[in-house]
Amino acid sequence: MFRNLKLMFDKIRCTKPFHLCRRYVMREPSQPLKRCPKWVCVEDAVKIINSEHLVFIQGGAATPMELVRAMTEHGVCNNLRGVRLLHMCLEGDAPFANPEFEIKARDDVTIQEHFRSVNLYVGANLREAVNEGRADYIPLFLHEAPRLFYEKKITPDIALIHVSMPDVRGFCSLGVTVGCTRAAICAAKVLIAQVNEHMPRSFGDTVIHSSHFDWAVRYDCPLPSVACTPPNDLEQEIGKIIAQRLIEDGATLQLGIGNIPDAVLCALVNHKDLGIHSDVLCDAMVDLVERGNITNRCKIKHRGRMIGSMAIGTKRLYDFLHNNPFVELLAMDYVNNPGAVSTQPKMTAINSCIEIDLTGQVCSDSLGCKIYSGFGGQLDFLQGAAQSQDGRGKAIIAFPSVTSKGESKIQPMLKLGAGVVVTRAHAHYIVTEHGVAQLFGKTLRQRANALIQIAHPDHRECLEKAAFERLKSTPTKYL
């Protein structure tokens, strides 16, 4: 009789979701459990999502798009209300944020949405929803994002994740995106996994045992391909200036996504023994690895390995990542932590911005009052590079001197409502196609002079007049 009771208990334990357990504790994803995932179709997997649930969604190129699609249809068909979706930047469509999915009363007054997106970083597919009040944004340094889960400030009811096929021992990989996903998995009550044979198996903080999945859905599809357009002549000039004047052999690099970071990487073909410690890994880095420019030989920590938190690019990058011990993807509370960044030799952080004022205040997350992206990892890495323990780090902000409409990106003052992501004190090296302005240790007048020298010539006279009006004296390069 006791044997039968034990078998019955084991059977219950193998199928019982975490949210039904009497006592829930934070999970350890790499530790196998004595339970099995329930393999179901995608429509059955999302049935557990109900009104008022908080759902975490893995982001980047690992966005589980099939689960997102099924969840949206389930929410609309079953008239769910107030489901909150927490995530970083998502790839693909975001149908849950469409205006038609708001629940209306008479006179088109919104009572409640089926879904409300809560962004830790705002991508292009949710920018309009955030600025129209149909979605929310949480400003924070990305190295602090995992704390939201570990300190139980946010506890997801459900996490939607995207993983590789299980190996012979049942272990899967989070593939191309760790970020804050591992922390969310540890805190979530229920896990629903989209299992995809196209997801690469990466090394680092990506390990999760399939026994942690409450529901698993097999859905094979290629990962989203995110390819930047080739850098134009102006962007190539900026890349050359940074590569030739600011990056040394043996430097450890962090670069954001976009044409200027790609232009910098393209200009590094004559550099030696470069290292990578970056939140995002991209295709252009693969070229430098194959050419022998990136060796990670000079790094103090993780010597011989590239370190990132997510990889976004094309199939070439994903194939490079698969089963490659040269690359480790680690959680953002480590990769983006300024203390960890500062330990790397000649740490060089290269990021861009929307605009900068004549005193060095940098706006990177908004166009005036309209949210454009988020804090991201920009200040994490700029601060870490500026505090480099070997005293040879460089914190760089690079951008074209004018916008596509010909407006100067160096402004007398930031636009009304513009968010300051990088303060005057954090701004060190500013680069345009016209040169480098070194701001650290400079007075306001010296800063204004240095920035005017790298502004577009068509705007320098106006900037000089504005600087005199603001500072009540002429900008100067002297103390």
Does residue 183 sit in the same domain as residue 280?
no
Does residue 204 sit in the same domain as residue 274?
no
Owner of token pair 């790298």: 454
The CATH number given to whatever domain includes residue 399 is 3.40.1080.20
| 422 lies in some domain | yes
Amino acid at 190: V
| 396 lies in some domain | yes
Check residue 108 and report its DSSP letter.
Answer: G
Task: Say what the pLDDT of residue 7 is.
Answer: 43
Of 26, 260, 65, 83, which Cα lies nearest the Cα of 177? 65
Does residue 273 sit in the same domain as residue 318?
yes
Does residue 172 sit in the same domain as residue 269?
no
Confidence of residue 103 (pLDDT cuts 50, 70, 90): low
Does residue 399 sit in the same domain as residue 313?
yes
Evaluate if residue 30 carries a pLDDT over 50: yes
Contacts of 370 (CB under 8 A, 6+ apart): 131, 417
Whole-angstrom distance, CA of residue 275 vs CA of residue 268: 12
Lowest mean pLDDT among 127-136, 226-235, 361-370: 226-235
Does residue 457 sit in the same domain as residue 350?
yes
Long-range contact set of residues 110-114: C-beta below 8 Å, sequence gap at least 24: 112/81, 112/82, 113/81, 113/82, 114/75, 114/76, 114/79, 114/80, 114/81, 114/83
Last residue of a domain, one of 218, 244, 261: 218
Q: Count each helix (H run) and each strand (E run) in the chain, helices first.
A: 15, 28
Evaluate if residue 167 carries a pLDDT over 60: yes
DSSP codes joined into one string, 304-336:
T-EEESEE-S-HHHHHHHTT-TTEEE--HHHHT
Task: Say what the pLDDT of residue 110 is.
Answer: 54
| 325 lies in some domain | yes
Of 326, 374, 327, 328, which Cα lies nearest the Cα of 351? 374
Query: Is residue 75 helix, strand or coil?
Result: helix
Instruction: Give the count of domains, the chain.
Output: 2
Does residue 382 sit in the same domain as residue 290?
yes
The CATH number given to whatever domain includes residue 84 is 3.40.1080.10
- Taking only the tens place, the pLDDT of each residue in 72-84 is 999 999 999 999 9
| 266 lies in some domain | yes
Does residue 197 sit in the same domain as residue 268?
no
Whole-angstrom distance, CA of residue 181 vs CA of residue 402: 37
- Following CA atoms 287, 293, 295, 300 in sequence, which dihedral angle do they give, to the nearest 10 degrees? -120
| 135 lies in some domain | yes
| 276 lies in some domain | yes
Does residue 179 sit in the same domain as residue 284?
no
Evaluate if residue 183 carries a pLDDT over 50: yes
Lowest mean pLDDT among 105-109, 141-145, 416-420: 105-109
| Mean pLDDT over the full length of the chain | 92
Task: Say what the pLDDT of residue 476 is.
Answer: 82
Task: Say what the pLDDT of residue 229 is.
Answer: 85
Task: Say what the pLDDT of residue 256 is.
Answer: 83
Task: Say what the pLDDT of residue 469 is.
Answer: 94
Task: Say what the pLDDT of residue 475 is.
Answer: 86
Q: Which two tokens stand for residue 306?
A: 């590239």
Query: Is residue 449 helix, strand or coil?
Result: helix
Evaluate if residue 108 carries a pLDDT over 60: no
- Taking only the tens place, the pLDDT of each residue in 293-335 is 999 999 999 999 999 999 999 999 999 999 999 999 999 999 9
Evaluate if residue 4 carries a pLDDT over 80: no
Evaluate if residue 123 carries a pLDDT over 50: yes
User: Mean pLDDT across the stretch 201-212?
Assistant: 97
Does residue 276 sit in the same domain as residue 351?
yes
Confidence of residue 277 (pLDDT cuts 50, 70, 90): very high
Does residue 321 sit in the same domain as residue 434?
yes
Of 311, 308, 306, which Cα lies nearest the Cα of 381? 308
Contacts of 35 (CB under 8 A, 6+ apart): 13, 14, 15, 16, 211
Task: Say what the pLDDT of residue 26 is.
Answer: 85
The parent domain of residue 160 ranges over 38-218
Task: Say what the pLDDT of residue 112 is.
Answer: 66
Residue 413 φ/ψ region, left for φ over 0, alpha for ψ in the -120 to 50 degree band, beta for the rest: beta
Query: Are the beta carbons of 401 and 408 closer than 8 angstroms?
Result: yes
Dihedrals phi, psi of 251, to nearest 5 degrees: -75, 150
Dihedrals phi, psi of 218, to nearest 5 degrees: -85, 115
Does residue 323 sit in the same domain as residue 355?
yes
Last residue of a domain, one of 190, 218, 246: 218
Task: Locate the DSSP E strands across 107-265.
Answer: 110-113, 115-119, 135-137, 158-163, 171-173, 190-195, 203-204, 207-209, 215-218, 252-255
Task: Say what the pLDDT of residue 68 is.
Answer: 97
Amino acid at 386: A
Confidence of residue 19 (pLDDT cuts 50, 70, 90): very low
Evaluate if residue 240 carries a pLDDT over 80: yes
pTM (2 decimals)?
0.91
User: Mean pLDDT across the stretch 50-76?
Assistant: 97
Query: Are the beta carbons of 332 and 143 closer than 8 angstroms?
Result: yes
| 284 lies in some domain | yes
Task: Name the percent of the chain lying above pLDDT 70.
Answer: 92
| 4 lies in some domain | no
Of 280, 285, 323, 277, which Cα lies nearest the Cα of 302? 277
Confidence of residue 99 (pLDDT cuts 50, 70, 90): confident
User: Mean pLDDT across the stretch 272-287?
Assistant: 96
Last residue of a domain, one of 218, 252, 271: 218
Angle between helices 444-453 and 457-471 (to 10 degrees): 170
